[in-house]
Amino acid sequence: MSLLKEFTKGLNKENPVFRLMLGLCPVLAVSSSVNNAIGMGAAATFVLVCSNCVISLIKGFVPAKIRIPIYITVIATFVTIVELVMAAYAPELSKALGVFIPLIVVNCIILGRAEAFASRNSLISSLIDGLGMGFGFTLALTLIATFREILGNGTWLGYPVFGSSFEPALMMILAPGAFITIGFIIGFLNWLDHRKAAL
Amino acid sequence: MDFQSLIIISIGAIFVSNFVLNRFLGLCPYIGVSKQLDAAVGMGMAVIFVMSMASIVTWGIYHYFLTPAESNLLFKLFLGGKGKPPDLTYLRTISFILVVATLVQFVEMVIQKVSPALYRSLGIYLPLITTNCAVMGVAILNIDAEYNFIQSVVNGFMSGIGFTLALVLMAGLREKLELANVPKAMQGVPIAFIMAGLMSLAFLGFSGLSF
């Protein structure tokens, strides 16, 4: 598959959140504001790209029976790096994301791509695949966060969108809003697919 | 033993900060296994066990091997208790996830021996408890909240019960949903998420509880 296809498949056709249904926990938890969403997306993309590269490099040396613990250790190392760097250089983001930064290590997307792709493909393909999936993840996160922040807070990235008379729907930035938003987005994507199939 | 704090932790873990409906931890099995009631109950039992055991073992590892305190065993063994204890808390993520992975492997073997039918019905979701945010999440939350040993175990166990409660409720609802007239685009996962949102809204009512 051409490298461009590798990258773009992560954005729509194999979008990890909306199509593959992976990595849902941080998506719903962190998408209450676009700022947090982009921060989490960047962190997860970094871990995904680095672990994809390393696992692609060591794929010839890893015995099949213990490959999962080895992948987990590689991923956990990069997550620890991100944890410490974030705590040092972006402390407010680190506090806002809270427990979900170390939880990047159990993000199904990263282990899933390592197992399904990086362990079988070249370094460059794995890097591009990691970038594509990471961008797709960030895109999905930002989309959901856009809905939740605009409706639930009246702002986007902190800038007010409506006038001062807007009464935000507080529910949207709380837990139920996350579930309902992602339910409607996946339903809408399903509807688009059915229409394309019917044509 | 401070019973009041344990009761507060329990009520908090099951209702106020329900792991699935409020903290968003454990969503993949929540969407995947909640289609039948028996599979949901079996999954819930496995998760309760893994979460409790993980709370115990990770608390021990953190407080006896990683913290920069006098009780650090590595400090006592290798440095003879002299000087400053080393701060190994950055190894928290790696050590916790490896512990959880081992525990889940163990639980998988036990279930395979004891109840092959349950093993088959859980399918791929049993090894996926390893990557379940809920197990790793409760381990880290125990450390962040600075609970002592008893509080950590209670939190782990009760969080598992909260997860199972949400899972069983969802499974019961989805079984009924099979007979309802859902629009084609919303069938399957989308309507499950909307239902989870409504359940989450209901559980939000608990957030006003105070003692």
> Using a CB-CB distance cutoff of 8 angstroms, which residues of chain A are in contact with residue B136?
102-103, 105-106
Predicted-complex ipTM score: 0.84
Provide, rounded to the nearest whole percent, the portion of chain A with pLDDT above 90.
36
* Residues of A within an 8 Å Cβ radius of B: 21-22, 24-26, 28-29, 68-69, 72-73, 76-77, 79-80, 83-84, 98-99, 102-103, 105-108, 111, 171, 174-180, 182-184, 186-188, 190-191, 194
Task: Evaluate if residue B123 carries a pLDDT over 80.
Answer: no
Quick one: pLDDT band at residue A4, thresholds 50, 70, 90? Answer: confident
Task: Evaluate if residue B118 carries a pLDDT over 80.
Answer: no
**Average model confidence (pLDDT) across chain B:** 84
- Judged by CB atoms closer than 8 Å, whether chains meet at B101 and A191 is answered as no
Query: What pLDDT is stored for residue B211 in this prediction?
Result: 55
Q: Mind listing the pLDDT tens digit for each residue in B20-34?
A: 888 888 887 777 766
Domain ranges of chain B: 13-208
Query: What pLDDT is stored for residue A76 in this prediction?
Result: 93
Of A22, A175, A180, the CB nearest to B22: A175
Query: Of how many residues is chain A composed?
Result: 199
Of B90, B132, B189, the CB nearest to A106: B132
Quick one: how far is CA B108 from the chain centroid? Answer: 16
Q: Mind listing the pLDDT tens digit for each residue in A42-54?
A: 999 999 999 999 9
Q: Which uninterrupted H or E stretch holds B9? A: helix B3-11
Alpha helices in A90-122 (DSSP H): 91-97, 108-113
- Judged by CB atoms closer than 8 Å, whether chains meet at A194 and B185 is answered as yes
Query: What pLDDT is stored for residue A51 in this prediction?
Result: 93
CA distance B114 to A57: 40
> Using a CB-CB distance cutoff of 8 angstroms, which residues of chain A are in contact with residue B137?
25, 99, 103
Task: Evaluate if residue B128 carries a pLDDT over 90.
Answer: no
Residue B49: how many other CB atoms lie within 10 Å: 18
Query: What pLDDT is stored for residue A66 in this prediction?
Result: 82
3-state class percentages of chain A: helix first, strand second, coil last, to nearest 5: 75, 0, 25
Top-confidence residue, B137 or B178: B137
- Interchain contact B41–A (C-beta under 8 A): no
Residue B50: how many other CB atoms lie within 10 Å: 25
Query: What pLDDT is stored for residue A173 in this prediction?
Result: 86
Quick one: pLDDT band at residue B162, thresholds 50, 70, 90? Answer: very high
Of all residues in chain B, the one with the smallest CA distance to A100 is B137
Task: Evaluate if residue A13 carries a pLDDT over 80.
Answer: no
**Torsion, CA B73, CA B74, CA B76, CA B80, rounded to 10:** 170
Query: What pLDDT is stored for residue B102 in this prediction?
Result: 85
User: A31: which DSSP letter?
Assistant: T
Mean pLDDT of A155-178: 83
Query: What pLDDT is stored for residue A39 in this prediction?
Result: 93
Of all residues in chain A, the one with the smallest CA distance to B27 is A25
CB contacts under 8 A, B 58-97 vs A, are 90-94, 97
Residue A95: how many other CB atoms lie within 10 Å: 10
- Judged by CB atoms closer than 8 Å, whether chains meet at A106 and B130 is answered as yes
